[in-house]
Structure 1
Amino acid sequence: MSPPPKRARTSSSTEDEAAAEAEDHPKLKQHETLWFEDGNIVLATDVHLYCVHRGVLARNSTVFKDMLELPNVGNAWNNEMESAVVEDSWEGKPKVRMVGDNDEDVYLLLMVLYDVGFYSDHKPTTLPTILSLLRMSTKYDFSRIRSEVTSHLERAYPRELDAMGERNFEDLFLNYDDLSSDYDLQLLVVAEQCNLKSILPVLYLDCVTSPMDTILQASRDLRLKNHQIEKLLRGHERMVRYAHEYGIIQFAPQQYCTMSCTKARGELLQNYVIVPQEYPVQALLEEEVPNDDDDARLRKAICKTCAKTISASLKEFRLQVWNSIPDLFDLGTWEDVRRD
């Protein structure tokens, strides 16, 4: 028996197909902002349908470019990462199912492509936006977006010691003071997944100077891998030791001095031990000047000879700590990091 002849598509049949598609996907709805009537491809998440432009996707993403240049676009297709599936059509337009992608991630990625003011590496944004754009730009090779996010992050997590004093997280994150205590650990997970090596040394440094309770809780909440937990614990222990050395170098130079100078340094060391300085290793690397009035008074009592000795010792110790950071986290040397 021969198959029945194909009917020509009519306006009513197209409407019928669209209605059938809607019945098959009752939970999906067109996105209010990112649905363009002149769009020629539909991206589908588990929440929304986004009608956008093939040319925009292909121009910015090598993954989409390769996928959309295939002769059978519109039929089922998986890329090597199983990240997107072109699985039939929607109202006559190829429909790409964004496998494993959160609806918010897809929305943020498309907003960067279609709204020039939505994200810039020169203005602060939210942590979820940074995490999302880093994940999606890496997964689909949106190289320009990944480059912008990388540049944004590198100002907060630099590769050069001279840049440590210029760190300003309020330039990176909106409402920085309201971020959760494990924000840097959240960023670490995504940065490692995306192989963003340039920020890892200083990011690890910030993570390991978190309170131990925060590190342990994050290891559970974020399901950190064993090798990550080992590096965090090892790094935390090293930073505690560095903090002790920092206090000794600042206030107990190996030399005898006048009674007033020795007494002032003794009181400063006692204060440092009893009321620990917050993030002392970062303070050392960023060359922060203590602003406590009592400490300032005591520091003035330190003689010029001891002050000069302390300054020279701290300069040497600062460089020692900085050079040790990449290797502490199995990242090689700073030259290796810059090369990557």
Structure 2
Amino acid sequence: MSARVTRKRSRPEDEDQELPPTKREPAQDTSSEDNNGGVAADGTGADRQPNHELAKERGGFWFEDGTVILVARNVEYRVYRGVLAELSSVFNSLFAKPRAFRNVPLDGVPTFPCPVVRVSDSPEDFQYLLRACFVHRMINLYEERNPSYYEISALIRLGDKYKITDLYSQSLNFLKHHFPSSFDSWVALPNFTPPGWDVSEAIGVVNLARMTGELSLLPPAFVTYICAKETAPGIVHGITREDGSQERLSPDDLIACFEGQAKLRTASVAAVLRTFNPTVSPECKTISACKKRLRDAFVGLEYSVDDLLNGNPFAKYDEFLLEDDLDACPSCTSTVSERSLKERKDVWDMLPELLGINVPGWNKDPPPPPA
């Protein structure tokens, strides 16, 4: 049986909003940077001359009235210094330092001295930050579209690096929504992953949880990967980011995944067996018939071994039935449903213990809202 990685079909991703076309500087622009070249975010000189044409082809963030040139590796962006400085205290500090500059046209002035700042980020990551700031303008970044894992990862990391609080919090909240600590919230999601994501990208969610200290993301991220039946090969090799770099789990998290998978399967199988215990409801009026139906359902688990060992460890009881329903009386059916819910919640509550990880506050009621 193939791995079930979604609960139901996800809707297609919406297209990202594009920048309106902007007038570009001529390719033969003879304005030049001073001999120091670009300047890195740490204040060191650039080690090579940026490729202006590649910048315009890759990024598209080249405004004819931009007031700063940012250089990520060999890609340049001409944007608005004031916008970034207002959003980020880190950018504000960078722009306040003496910088190399390039004379560029601006509002009829042919030689505007435009500061040049080199950043250490990959162009792939940095472009997501610029799109959030200048296209989406930090307003409801993910309300009407489905971001990729790479976008969320980049914006959490760069939001933290550049202290752009809104960018960081919106991206982190997106992860918390799709990898919730609440059992009820998790089972209510239509998919094991956000729309358009590959299950292997749960590896990155684990690493983001470690980076941000949001450890409540760890159990659902591990469960997502375990549900995919791809634990052995994929989790060892990791995933490749858009810039070509590799992202892997730490040795401790690899151990947690492998050992936790076996423990979780053991606990979930035991929970299903207890669910179908042939004990009828106290209100049952057809005890003999209902006991037989429960025994038949229990025996029928033989035909669901693959689902028990490799499927969703939190599947409802009716997903293991050979027929469409239990065919017991309403009272007994309700009792089995209640047992199923309790058993599944109990396993969820044990997740950190089963995975061998410490998640402070797991299985505790949230504090009441302030009066």
Query: Which TM-score band (shorter chain)?
Result: 0.7 to 0.9
Which of 319, 326, 329 is the aligned partner of 1:290? Answer: 319
Match of 2:51 among 1, 12, 27: 27
Q: Distance in 2 between matches of 1:194 and 1:48?
A: 28
* Offset at residue 142 of structure 1 (A): 1.5
Answering whether residue 155 of structure 2 is matched by residue 133 of structure 1, we say yes
Can you give the 5+ residue segments of structure 2 that lack an aligned partner in the other structure?
1-28, 39-46, 104-112, 239-246, 281-286
Instruction: Tell me, yes or no, if the aligned pair for 1:121 and 1:151 is still in contact at 8 Å.
Output: no
- Aligned residues: CA RMSD: 3.5
1:195 is the counterpart of 2:213:
yes
Cα gap change, 1:257/1:270 in structure 2, threshold over 3 Å: closer, same or farther? Answer: farther
C-alpha separation in 1, matches of 2:216 and 2:156? 13
CA contact (8 A) 1:134 1:149 kept: yes
Q: C-alpha separation between the residues in 2 aligned to 1:337 and 1:43?
A: 46
Q: Which residue in the other structure is 1:80 paired with? A: none
Residue 313 to residue 105, structure 1, CA distance change in 2 (3 Å) = same
In the alignment, which residue of structure 1 is the partner of 2:312?
Answer: 280
Gapped runs of 5+ residues in structure 1?
1-13, 75-87
Q: Quick one: distance in 1 between partners of 2:198 and 2:186?
A: 23
Using the alignment, how far apart are the partners of 1:135 and 1:16 within structure 2?
34
1:316 and 2:337 aligned = no
How many residue pairs get aligned? The number is 299
Structure 2 residue corresponding to 1:105, chosen from 111, 120, 125: 125
Contact 2:70–2:117 (CA under 8 A) maintained in structure 1? yes
SS of 1:192's partner is helix
Question: Which letter maps to 1:214?
Answer: T
Instruction: Return the alpha-carbon distance in structure 1 between the equivalents of residues 66 and 153 of structure 2.
Output: 27
> Is the CA contact 2:265–2:309 (under 8 Å) kept in the aligned structure 1?
no
Deviation at 1:337, TM superposition (A): 10
> Could you say which residue in structure 2 is the equivalent of 1:9?
none
Please list the CA deviations of residues 256-311 of structure 1 after superposition, one character each: whole Å capped at 9, or x if unmatched. Answer: 95463244223432222255476332325xxx85397x4315x11x3456434433
Is the Cα contact below 8 Å between 2:264 and 2:351 reproduced in 1?
no
Structure 1 residues 208 and 233: CA distance shift in structure 2, 3 A: same
Map of 1:334 onto structure 2: 362
Query: Whose helix proportion is higher, 1 or 2?
Result: 1
Listed one character per residue, the Cα deviations across residues 300-330 of structure 1 (whole Å, up to 9, x for unaligned) are: 1x34564344334323323322222244421
CA deviations on 1:243-266 (whole Å, 9 max, x unpaired) are 211320232345795463244223
- Tell whether the 8 Å contact from 1:48 to 1:103 is kept in structure 2 after alignment: yes
Give the one of 205, 217, 235 matched to 2:234.
217
CA distance 1:165–1:225, change in 2 (3 Å): closer
SS in 2 for 1:141: coil
Q: Which residue of 2 is the match for residue 167 of structure 1?
A: 189
Q: Which has the higher contact order (CA 8 A, sep 6+)?
A: 2
Percent same amino acid at aligned positions? Answer: 19
Residue 265 in structure 1 maps to residue 297 in structure 2? yes
Q: Is the 8 A contact 2:50 2:75 kept in 1?
A: no
CA separation of 1:90/1:245 partners in 2, compared to 1, >3 Å: closer, same or farther? farther
Letter in 2 for 1:98: V
With structure 1 as the length reference, what TM-score do the two structures score? 0.74
**Distance verdict in 2 for CA 1:188–1:283, change over 3 Å:** same
| Whole-angstrom distance in 2 between the partners of 1:89 and 1:250 | 71
3-state SS, counterpart of residue 34 of structure 1: coil
| Contact 1:181-1:214 within 8 A present in 2 as well | no
Q: 1:16 to 1:312 in 2, by over 3 A?
A: closer
